[in-house]
Structures are given as structure tokens and as C-alpha cells.
Amino acid sequence: MISVLLTGFGPFPGAPANPTGALALRLARLRHPALHEARLAAHVFRVSYAAVDRELPALIARHRPDVLLMFGLAARTRHVRIETRARNARAAFPDADGIALPRRAIVPGATHRMLPQPTPHILSASRGLRAPVRLSRDAGAYLCNYLCWRALDMTAQPDGPQLAAFIHVPKLDTVPRRRSRDASDRITMDDLARIGSRVLLALVVAARRRRCAPRPQAR
């Protein structure tokens, strides 16, 4: 049984509508032959440093996921971004609790850490859809990046997730396509669900392959 934890975020200052919570919940209901014997759970974080610090370890302990698939909103981008690393940086912009932490590194030391994910397979699975998908080396310095960093703390634990991926999505089109002048450039929740489902399936397949791979023999 492969266990998957999907996460999204709620609204935050400057973004009263955040599609990622609804996206995570929708994907947790996905039915597909490749998800046979896969257990899916979803959680929506409040956009709060305290919420991430408090809830993420509890979620990992409860669900013991093999795969952690996280979604966040990047309101200024026009494409879907597959983040490849977490930056050791934290912005001074206040979270949804009104807390503005000092602008500094999350921890002393490293500048960044790479996310353990099958990036080529995720990117390949996401191609051919209407919404553009690209790799990204900059997850920002707000709660999305902070969650990535804390997720990497979890993957370093012996019973932590094998794979962790973070997907930044753009703001949704709220205008009906038949009324939109540039409908071909608009991204809807259905578009995000198609991309998210392909990423989810690619991660489940990769986790299953890892589990079935022969272990190196001790010398």
C-alpha cells in the first residue's frame, strides 16, 4: 500500500482566493487503476508559520506517507511551476495570522536543499496539456518555500516520505471561456486537476518502483 499526503493552502494577505486547498481535496478523491492499493489523504494548511510547524509533523506521524505532494499559489506566474529545491530564506511579509518574522535564513548554514522527487518523470507526465508546466529553482521566501524546507526535514527522518514534490500554480480564470478574449491563455481548476492527477500518478508509480527495487547486499 502506497500512502500519499496531498496538501494545499488557504487564503492569505493579497490572495483571498487560493485554489490549492480545493485542488488537494479534489485529487484525494481521484480514482484511477494506477492508484489501486494507494491510500490518499488531503490537508489544507492555514497560511501560517505556526500552523506548518505544528501540523506537518503530526500529519506525517498520522498518515506515514510514502509520497508528499504539496501545492501552493504563485499569483504572479502564468504557468505551473514544479519546484526543484527549497531556499534557506524567509520573507518578512506577514502570514495569515498577521505574524511577520524577521527576514533571514530559516536555519543557519546551507543556501538551499533539493526536493527528493523524480523530476524528469513528473515533467514528462505533465506535458501535452493545455496549461504550460515548467521547472523552477526558486520557491520564493514565503510559506510555500517554508513548507518545502520543513518537508525536507520530514524526508530526512527514517520513517518519513520517500518522495516530496511541490507544485506552484497560478491564479485561476474566473471568467467563462466563451466570454474571455484570450481564453487560450486562461487556466481553470480543471486544468490544474489534470496536471495534478498526472503528477500524482507519476509519484505513486515512482514510489512503488522504489519499494520493489532490490536492496543492495551488505558486504
Question: What tens digit of pLDDT does each residue of 65-117 get?
Answer: 999 999 999 988 889 999 999 999 998 889 999 988 888 899 998 899 999 99
C-alpha cell of 25?
A: 481535496
Report residue 12 as a C-alpha cell.
Answer: 492569505
Using the predicted structure, report yes or no on whether residue 127 has a pLDDT greater than 90.
Answer: no
**pLDDT higher than 60, residue 64:** yes
Which among 55, 91, 77 is positioned nearest to 168, based on CA atoms?
77
Could you tell me the pLDDT band of residue 185, with boundaries at 50, 70 and 90?
low
Residue 185 burial (CB count, 10 A): 12
* Structure letter (DSSP) for residue 183: G
Mean pLDDT on 152-173:
94
Q: Tell me the domains of the chain and their CATH numbers.
A: 2-212 (3.40.630.20)
pTM above 0.85, yes or no: yes
Q: Which residues 6+ apart lie within 8 Å of 133 measured at CB?
A: 79, 80, 81, 82, 123, 126, 127, 195
H or E segment and range at residue 204: helix 189-212
